[in-house]
Amino acid sequence: MNVDASPDDAVRGVARGDSPVPLSVLDLAPVGAEISPSDALDTTTELARAAERWGYHRFWVAEHHGMPGIASSAPAVVIAHLAAATSTLRVGSGGVMLPNHAPLVVAEQFGTLEALHSGRIDLGIGRAPGTDQATARALRRTTGTLSADDFPQQLGELMAFMRGEFPIDHPYADVHSVPNGAVPPIWLLGSSGFSAQVAGALGLPFAFAHHFASQNTLPALELYRQSFEPSEVLDKPYSLIGVQAIAADTDEEALHLARPIALSMLRLRRGNPGRMPSPEEAAAYPYDEMESAFVRKWLDDAVHGSPETVRAELDELRERTQVDELMITANVYDRKAKLRSFELISQAYRLN
């Protein structure tokens, strides 16, 4: 249990039940072949309410664009809805892709969310566009070269807007983010070492995308810990990792639910994103040798099985990475099976 945390700690969660660390949820509002975006967002809302009952600590949604299978393109809007539908659960972004937005806009959006739901909002920030280059240009309204190299400057502006800390000679010294007041904690997200080092240097909490960049997990976490400098936010490092984890009554059923997610990732990596395939579509897909290898690797990196299997693998992963929190994601096609998966994991750890 994280004995350093208190119930009013804005960053550190408190472990519940038999879990050694807090367990949280990342959801993308996946849209299936026969599922509308409204249905997908309704499932996300139902999952957030259930996650609160089941003892999960926080619930994040992620920004993606131009992907027919994901309905979370506007995280601030979804966060407002989810926070209004719950009462104690921390709700936030995992994350807002800062290069797509003016820092002042993000500061105002999350200042408003914090004013509406004081003490329950997280602002996770990423430096990737979360989309293709053409869509990124449309979001940024520029025809110039797109680069993530400006991220440190954008992040600095965002933090200064939220805290009202521009130097007196700065061009934005007289520009104010409104509403202002309490500032939600800022997390840096990453799938490589760059954001890990920035988070460490600034003394911010760090969230790593283990669920799609597992080969970089341990090096990035080590960079974060090595580069960490204490700040007014944290006196020591605090990290979480996103984990694809699917639980069902049996190992075989969980594998059946996991295969469509693997196929969806395969299509995304091939530059052909679409709606989430059904288990039947995934079973009938004519995989070639390279595609089969990709799916096998993805399934090896994901956690799936009975509640006992999932708990054992999550415990091993946490021990291996020494992270302070696990954030579970499961883009399961079927609504009932998805909710059941998170419920089974909660029960396995006796979270509530």
**Nearest C-alpha neighbor of 122 from the set 82, 149, 85, 152:** 82
Asked whether the predicted pLDDT for residue 1 surpasses 80, the reply is: no
Asked whether the predicted pLDDT for residue 233 surpasses 70, the reply is: yes
The reported pLDDT for the residue numbered 150 is 84
Torsion of CA 265, 266, 270, 271, to 10 degrees: -30
- Residue 352 to residue 350: CA distance in whole angstroms: 6
Asked whether the predicted pLDDT for residue 55 surpasses 70, the reply is: yes
Mean pLDDT of 88-107: 94
- Asked if residues 86 and 48 have their Cβ atoms less than 8 Å apart, the reply is yes
In the structure, what pLDDT confidence band is assigned to residue 144 with cuts at 50, 70 and 90?
A: low
Torsion of CA 125, 128, 130, 134, to 10 degrees: 140
- pLDDT tens string 158-188: 999 999 999 999 999 999 999 988 889 999 9
- Greater confidence, 236 or 269? 236
pTM value? 0.94
Q: What is the mean pLDDT of the chain?
A: 92
The reported pLDDT for the residue numbered 139 is 78
Which of 48-52, 239-243, 275-279 is the least confident region?
A: 275-279
Asked whether the predicted pLDDT for residue 307 surpasses 50, the reply is: yes
Asked whether the predicted pLDDT for residue 4 surpasses 70, the reply is: no
Give exposure, 308-329, as e/b (b: 16+ Cβ within 10 Å).
ebbbebbbebbeebebbbbbbb
In eight-state DSSP terms, residue 245 is E
The reported pLDDT for the residue numbered 146 is 56
Q: Is 149 exposed, middle or buried (0-12, 13-18, 19+ CB in 10 A)?
A: exposed
**Nearest C-alpha neighbor of 282 from the set 262, 297, 302:** 262
Work out the angle at residue 175's Cα, subtended by the Cα atoms of residues 172 and 176, and round it to the nearest 5 degrees: 130
Backbone angles phi, psi at 225, to 5 degrees: -70, -40
Work out the angle at residue 298's Cα, subtended by the Cα atoms of residues 31 and 16, and round it to the nearest 5 degrees: 75
Beta strands in 78-216 (DSSP E): 90-97, 121-126, 186-190, 206-208
β-strand partners of 60: 26, 92
Tokens for 195? 């954001």
The reported pLDDT for the residue numbered 3 is 44
